[in-house]
Amino acid sequence: MANTPDLGVEKTLVLLKPDTLVRGLAGRIITRFEDVALKIVGVKMKHMDAKFARKHYFDLEERAGAEIYNTTAAFMQSGPVIALALEGVDAVAKVRKIIGSTFPNEAAPGTVRGDFAHQTKASSEVSGKAVMNLVHASGNSEEAKYEVDLWFDGSEQFEYETLAEKLAY
């Protein structure tokens, strides 16, 4: 969207977590983002090691405690993840709306978590396992900038114009 006026175009990060991949839901979830004119400008699959998990979740331990950090980091290292850098008008808020509430049992039907994830906060606490909620998404614009830059260097982000951009902007 290089030649468009300031329409609130921004980038955000989405991680398709290990539970998305083992359940074969990656394509169905990615389609939801493309359906609302979010453009994939970067994509990669990788295993997060402990050092990278610490960089990604640098403040989780402070915000939520060591137990939640350790559980989350271990889960994110349990299998590969797909990282997406998405771009579009109000991308951060749009993605957050599409994925739904952090806890699947609180997520509305029609959201990714409401439709595909079914674990409750209580069941996570009892089992001691991370909340399997399929996706991570940046929480705000500042976090999005940090996360996109952490996961993708400049050569891994692409500029191109989609048909939706040509028609809408």
In tens, the pLDDT along 79-136 reads 999 999 999 999 999 999 999 999 999 999 999 999 999 888 888 888 888 889 999 9
**Residue 139: pLDDT above 70?**
yes
| Degrees to nearest 5, angle at CA 90 with 16 and 84 | 20
pLDDT on residue 4: 52
- DSSP-based helix, strand, coil % in the chain, nearest 5: 50, 15, 35
State how far Cα 104 lies from the chain centre.
Answer: 15
What domains appear along the chain, each with residue ranges and CATH number? 9-98+136-156 (3.30.70.141)
CA distance 12 to 30: 14
- In this prediction, residue 3 has a pLDDT band, given cuts at 50, 70 and 90, of low
Residues 6+ apart with CB under 8 A from 135: 14, 15, 16, 17, 20, 29, 99, 112, 113
Residue with tokens 């089992």: 127
CA distance 11 to 32: 16
Q: Is 56 a catalytic residue?
A: no
Mean per-residue pLDDT of the chain: 93
